[in-house]
Every structure is written in C-alpha cells, then in structure tokens.
Structure 1
Amino acid sequence: MSKFLIVDDDLNRSNEIASRLKNSFNINVDDIDIAHTLNQGKRFLRQTYYTALFLDMALPKVEGDEPDRLSGINLLKAIARGRYKSPHRVIGYTALIDEVSDMSKEFEPLGFKLYASPGGDYSWLPEAFTQVSYSIQSVRSHEVAPKDVVVVSVHGILTFGNWQEDLIQLAKEQHSDIDISHLSFKCSRIDLITFLIPGLRRSLINRFTSDLTRWLTSNSTKRMICFSHSFGTYILEKSIRKICKTNPELLEPLELVVFSGSILKQNTDFSELLDVKKFQIINECAINDIPLLFSEAFVLDAGMSGRLGFSGICTDSFSNRFYNGGHSSFFDEKRNFIKNKWLPLIPNKNIIQPFNEAKDYSVFFKIVENLARISGCIKWFYPIILFFLSYKLIF
C-alpha cells in the first residue's frame, strides 16, 4: 500500500498537492497525511514508511514559530542518519526562489530533487509526479504473495560471513519445496574498534533495524527464522528489541531466533520481548570459546553467554545447547553442524532438542574464566582509567 506525507506550512499548497495526488493516482484520502510544522512531520516519519514525502524546505518548528530555511535540510540529514523512517522518494520545494541553487547543493547529493515553488505556482508538480509514479510502481511490484519463510542471518566481527551463503544454499537444496527468502546482513570485516565502542555499535544496530523494518513493511512472509553468530547476536537481539517497541506487529511472523557464540550477557532478560511476541530461542554454546573471555572481561555491555549459556529456566521455547569446541566451531569445513543442527529447524521449529556434551574445564581454564568474571565486574572503570592515563601523557 502506498502512503504519502506532505509537510508544508502553507495550507492552500498542501491541500492542492493532496488533491492532485488523489486525482492523478486514484489515492484514498486516508493514505495521505499532512503536517504543517517540522515537529508534526517528525511524528509521522517515526511511525510510517512513506512512498513519497513532499517537503517544504522552510518550516516552523511548532505552530506560531517563524519558518526556518534550514529545517528541511536538517530533517533530511536526520532521515539519512536513520533517526526516522526513510521514504522511497522525497520531493523538496521552496518558495524562496533565490535560494534554490544554494539548497540544491545540500539537497540533491542526498539523492532527492528540489523544485522552486513560488506562491500559487504548481508548474513543477507534473515532473515531480513522474518520480512519484515510478515510486508507486516500485512499491506495488513488491506487493506479492507472502513467502513461506524468510531466513535472517547476521555475522560477527573480522569475517565475511561465508556461512550465511552456505546456510541458505544448503537450505534451498534440502528444502526445495519451501519458498525461502534470505536476508543476510553484511558488514564485512567489522573491526575491533566498532565492536569495542558502544556508539559505533549503535550505528550498525540502527542500520540493521532500518533495513529489516523496511523489508518487513514492504514484504510479507508466513514465518521468520533468525541465525546469528558472535557480534551478530548482539546486533540481532538489540534490533528485535527496537522493533518490538516501535513496530511490534512486524514481528508477527517471527518464530525462532538462534544465537551462536553469543557476546550477550548471561543475565540477558528476554521476558519483555516474549511478553509481546512468543518465539523460540536457541543459544548454541561452545564451552571452549576463548574470544568470549575477552568479551566478558573488557567489552562494555557484553558477556559470554555463548560460552556459559543464558541464566534462567530452560523450556521448550528457550534452551541453551552446549558443545565442545571454540568460537567458530559451528562452521566446520563440511558444514556438518549447519546440516545436522540448523537445517532441520527451517521446516519444523518444533523439533528442537536439548543437547549437552559439555565436559568440566581444567583448573587453568577455571582460573581464567573466574578472572574474566572479576574483570567484567569492574570493566566500566577501564575507559576512565584509559582517559586519565592519556590525559597525563598529553598534558
């Protein structure tokens, strides 16, 4: 379904654009939203993905304020940063004819089109409507029958995530009777700096959340199953929480989330999520996972649940499965783990079986693990200490 937003403090112009949209494309009036201030427009953009946004470049922040010529540019930059839902097409226009060329330098590099629109002049609308027509056709082309299942995969740091392609190829070979779509989130060779700094992590989470939300808004599927590894488990879990708060209806197809080598904390609480949407969680744990000791000891807001499991009662819908092996042992050369443990989950989520081949650690590893736990309790002080030492060295 195509939705449109007009953000314009000129009531006559906004009504005229809405009327011409309705008549030109046979659009229901309920599918056209109109805002007359910047803040009203932001509220609409937080809630809905629009086929096209008509944006007056000079808007008052609230009713009664004077129009700010930079308000449109600032809103577009906020959309580009992922703070609001990104429309398929943005049509910018301004009555400040002398400033069109200056605005265009800022506006068009973002991938949009800017028009001069002095009072009462609508000669620019036919060209703008040509772009709108293309966007409507593009949106409608995605409105097809729902997929049987969509498989979402998210990889970890310092890797190209080759297992993602292997997983879907094996799944399609083994389950050729199922219509499977694959959403593989790629950010190849995510570096350690991004992993270590919470702010940089959030940028990846926002990107994945935006991409997944856009796909779920434009497409339909009967079932959704998610697989993730290492840092990918963090991205996936945080994104599901964000969507659960903003667009919980989009998670209706979600049936199963599989974590492997997870850096999430052991005490991660899923009750809030499961209260909103019931789905199954499998946490695949490798008890000899060395990198997770580092995660527990030094990485803020991270832990080693992929080594020791999540704390809490295991049920039919929530289970830790323990294996002998290291951080990437789930992706053996012949992909036997994927074939034996993950592929059966795609046609039937109800065949989840508990598994525990864990053996006790040596005394050495018990000591190392306890040291990681102790370090994890005080790791919030490490950035402060590092800042203090850097300050002393510089000054």
Structure 2
Amino acid sequence: MIKILVIEDNPEKREHIFSVTLKSGVHSENIDMASNARDALNSLKGSTYDIVVLDLKLPLRSSSTLPNDGAGKKILQSIIEHDVQVPNSVICLTSFPELQESFSQDFTSFDINIYDTTTSDNWISALEGKINWHSGRNKKIKSKKKGKVIVTIHGVNTAGAWQDTLENELSEFDGIICKHYKYIHKAPFKILIPIWRKKVVKAFYNDLRSLIKSYPNHDYYFFSHSFGTFVLVEALGKMSSLNAPEIKVITLAGSVLKRSFGWEDICSELSVDKVINDCGVNDLALPFSYCFAPGLGMAGRTGFYGFDGELVKNRYFEGGHSFFEESSEFYKKYWIPLIFNHVIESEGHPNAAPNEAHEKVIELLAVAIYIAVIIVVAFLFI
C-alpha cells in the first residue's frame, strides 16, 4: 500500500485532503500528518513516501502558529538537495497566487506541481491520479531502520588516535557507522588565528552537510576533543531544525569553549537530547587557550555554568587534556552507554572537582594579559 504525507496547518484543509485520500483507497494508517515544517522534515527523514501533499505557507515549528512564506520552500529545497528521503511525487497547494507564481519559476523543472486552491479543485484530480498510478504499480517501500552515526572530531596538534580506539570498541555492535573528521593538525598556536578557525569550521560544516545527505534518517552522536569542540559547536550553530539531523548526544572532552557558553539556542533549535561535558580538572592546555586565544575558554576544565544536568551534564575526572585516552575502559564505562542506553551510567571520578581558587587566578591572569596587550598596542600606535 502506498504511503502519503500531508503537510497542512489548516485543520479544515487537512481534513479535506485526508478525506480525498481515503476515498481513493488509501488506508488511514498509511497517511501521516504534519502541521509545521520541522515535523514535516522529521517525517521525511524517517520514512519514504510515495506522495507528499504540501501547503506552501505554514509555521516553521510547532511552537509557532504564524504561517511563514519560506517554510514550504525550505521543505522543497531539502527534497531537491536530498537532505531527506525523496518522495516519488509532490503536490503543492496554496491560496496565495503570488506564491504559486514564485514557486513555479523555481520548482516546476523538478516535476513538482503547484495548484492554486482558490481558483479550482484541479489538485483533487491530480492527487487521485497520483494515488491510482502508485497503487497500480503495486509499490510498497519500507522505511529504513534507523542506524547510528558516530561523528568524532579531534583537536589541534594531534592525529586523533582516540577516534580509532573508540571505533574499535564499537566494532562488536551492529548498525554503527563511524565517521572520523580529520583536519590538518597544526601547532597549538594556530588556534590564536581567527581566520584559520573559520576555515576549519567551514570545511567541517560542508562535510557534515554531505554526511547528513548520505544518512538522513539516522540518529547522530557527536564526540569531540579540544579545539574539535569549538569546530563542532560553531558548525551546529549554523544549522536549523530544517536541515539538521536527529542529534541524540553531544559529548565534549577537554573543551575549549567558554564556561559561559549558552547551550539554550542550539539545544532548542536542533532538539538535542543530551550534552555531556567531560572535564580533566588538571588540564594545563586549556588555561593557555583561555589566556591567549580570544573567544576560547576552558569549559573542559571548569565545566559550564547553569543548572548541571538540565541542558548540560558536567562530569569531572582526574587527569589532563587527554585524560580519556589513558585506557580503552573509559569508552566502555563513560561513552558507549550514552550511545546505546541514552543514560548517564557513570558520573565521573569520585571527589574530582575544579579548584575554584586556581580558576580565579587563571581568570585574573587572563585579564592582566589582555590589559597588557591593549597597553602595548596603544603605545605602538598612539
């Protein structure tokens, strides 16, 4: 039996479309509904549809009731760019003639039909024809079972040997796809150069988009270390709910992000399930990034501010910048349960905690360095 997705925010119109599909012989359990762009894209990522009926003007997400002119276009672009599973047929509806004209110029070449519901009911015969066609072909496509994509990102001045170790620990499990992101591991001073940071972030963002197109309906788990945490978060910040994958867990280790970094926007927009921040309380590399690299911090040593365990869970460990590489047992105990059980089974090392007096000294040192730089610059150019 064919499968249909109806994307319409108006209850009366949605019921009308539903009625037409039922009368055409489609079983109700094979008709999915979405009233906003986010829910629609989630459905398209998780299932393969024969027919999609799309209202061009609808809210972007469930928390909004205000229709958006660009919502339908974003859904169509996601289909065309294969960011989601591509349906066999798309029928677009609108009661706004200007939208029909605009969209026709952009999408008719992709065999996407757009109908003005205010002037005729031609969309009904078009939908009935599509249903009869797909029913006649006796086509039944099963949704792919969700797999798990593990994305890892290493830090600077390292080849990321831990990425391979983690993959080896996961090799005994089925349905796991490990993707290790590598970039030129320059000397640590490179992170002082903002333009170099931007280049790495841009390259990762583009590669991540390609990866999502290859595995659009999988669950994603991110593990990043050191400068890799900055690269990951900056790239995710460029995404929206319309083009991001389903993110189950973000795990950071030795993070160079600021302690005050606000996770609210990313977690809310991308619907991230969990953020785990694993900290080495004796990390000596992070004070360097905090003091000499503007825009970076040492959250991988101190933890993030906020209610611990709400948006972000800080876990503290005895050790330095690469504390998690000391034994493969670390992955089994602390990271792998996040992938399969979606729970935090271990809280970190007992009694491990940042020394607030030491952190205060480092903060004062950073301020002194910034002031000294300003004075030197002022002396040279004034």
Residues 367 and 346 of structure 1: is their aligned pair in 2 closer, same or farther, counting only changes over 3 Å? closer
Post-superposition Cα deviations, 1:260-299, rounded to whole Å, max 9, x if no partner, equal: 0011011111111122213200000111111111122221
Alpha-carbon distance between aligned partners in 1 of 2:167 and 2:176, rounded to the nearest angstrom: 8
Residues 313 and 195 of structure 1: is their aligned pair in 2 closer, same or farther, counting only changes over 3 Å? same
Please, which of 228, 231, 240 is the counterpart of residue 232 of structure 1? 228
Q: Which residue of 2 aligns with 1:372?
A: 362
Alpha-carbon distance between aligned partners in 1 of 2:232 and 2:265, rounded to the nearest angstrom: 16
**Cα displacement (A) at 1:185:** 0.9
Alpha-carbon distance between aligned partners in 1 of 2:377 and 2:213, rounded to the nearest angstrom: 43
Aligned residue pairs: how many?
248
Q: Which residue of 1 aligns with 2:109?
A: none
Residues 219 and 373 of structure 1: is their aligned pair in 2 closer, same or farther, counting only changes over 3 Å? same
Task: Indicate the SS of the match to 2:239.
Answer: helix
Contact 2:219 2:246 in 1 (8 A): yes
Task: Indicate the SS of the match to 2:195.
Answer: helix
Post-superposition Cα deviations, 1:237-281, rounded to whole Å, max 9, x if no partner, equal: 11111113xxx2333421100000011011111111122213200
Instruction: Letter of the 2:225 partner, please give it.
Output: H
**Cα displacement (A) at 1:353:** 4.2
**Cα displacement (A) at 1:384:** 4.7
Where do residues 120-135 of structure 1 align in structure 2 (5 Å cutoff)? none
Instruction: Letter of the 1:222 partner, please give it.
Output: H
Residues 360 and 337 of structure 1: is their aligned pair in 2 closer, same or farther, counting only changes over 3 Å? closer
**Cα displacement (A) at 1:376:** 3.3
Task: Indicate the SS of the match to 2:186.
Answer: coil
**Cα displacement (A) at 1:314:** 1.7
Contact 2:316 2:352 in 1 (8 A): no
CA RMSD of aligned residues (A): 3.1
Task: Indicate the SS of the match to 1:349.
Answer: coil
Instruction: Letter of the 2:335 partner, please give it.
Output: W
Contact 2:259 2:297 in 1 (8 A): yes
**Cα displacement (A) at 1:145:** 4.3
Where does structure 1 lack aligned partners over 5 or more consecutive residues?
Answer: 1-42, 52-143
Where do residues 1-395 of structure 1 align in structure 2 (5 Å cutoff)? 145=144, 148-173=147-172, 175=173, 178-244=174-240, 248-276=241-269, 277-315=271-309, 318-332=312-326, 334-355=327-348, 357-359=350-352, 368-377=358-367, 384=374, 387=377
Higher relative contact order, structure no. (Cα contacts within 8 Å, ≥ 6 residues apart): 2
Instruction: Letter of the 2:246 partner, please give it.
Output: P
Moved more, 380-389 or 335-344: 380-389
The runs of at least 4 consecutive aligned structure 1 residues that moved more than 6 Å come to: 389-392
Q: Which residue of 2 aligns with 1:15?
A: none
Residues 185 and 212 of structure 1: is their aligned pair in 2 closer, same or farther, counting only changes over 3 Å? same
Instruction: Letter of the 1:283 partner, please give it.
Output: N
Alpha-carbon distance between aligned partners in 2 of 1:236 and 1:323, rounded to the nearest angstrom: 22
Residues 360 and 149 of structure 1: is their aligned pair in 2 closer, same or farther, counting only changes over 3 Å? closer
Alpha-carbon distance between aligned partners in 2 of 1:379 and 1:352, rounded to the nearest angstrom: 41
Alpha-carbon distance between aligned partners in 2 of 1:373 and 1:335, rounded to the nearest angstrom: 34
Residues 319 and 360 of structure 1: is their aligned pair in 2 closer, same or farther, counting only changes over 3 Å? closer
Contact 1:268 1:310 in 2 (8 A): yes
Post-superposition Cα deviations, 1:328-385, rounded to whole Å, max 9, x if no partner, equal: 11101x4221122112222121344433524467xxx766532321233465556655
Post-superposition Cα deviations, 1:5-24, rounded to whole Å, max 9, x if no partner, equal: xxxxxxxxxxxxxxxxxxxx
Task: Indicate the SS of the match to 1:315.
Answer: coil
Alpha-carbon distance between aligned partners in 2 of 1:147 and 1:258, rounded to the nearest angstrom: 21
Where does structure 2 lack aligned partners over 5 or more consecutive residues?
Answer: 1-72, 83-142
Residues 377 and 146 of structure 1: is their aligned pair in 2 closer, same or farther, counting only changes over 3 Å? farther
**Cα displacement (A) at 1:326:** 0.8
Post-superposition Cα deviations, 1:183-206, rounded to whole Å, max 9, x if no partner, equal: 211014233343111121011011
Task: Indicate the SS of the match to 2:203.
Answer: helix
Contact 2:281 2:318 in 1 (8 A): yes
Residues 186 and 330 of structure 1: is their aligned pair in 2 closer, same or farther, counting only changes over 3 Å? same
Moved more, 233-242 or 339-348: 339-348
Contact 2:275 2:311 in 1 (8 A): yes
Post-superposition Cα deviations, 1:21-63, rounded to whole Å, max 9, x if no partner, equal: xxxxxxxxxxxxxxxxxxxxxx99xx66759xxxxxxxxxxxx
Residues 374 and 152 of structure 1: is their aligned pair in 2 closer, same or farther, counting only changes over 3 Å? same
Residues 340 and 359 of structure 1: is their aligned pair in 2 closer, same or farther, counting only changes over 3 Å? closer
Task: Indicate the SS of the match to 1:249.
Answer: coil
Residues 385 and 208 of structure 1: is their aligned pair in 2 closer, same or farther, counting only changes over 3 Å? farther
Contact 1:146 1:220 in 2 (8 A): no
Residues 359 and 179 of structure 1: is their aligned pair in 2 closer, same or farther, counting only changes over 3 Å? closer
**Cα displacement (A) at 1:309:** 0.4
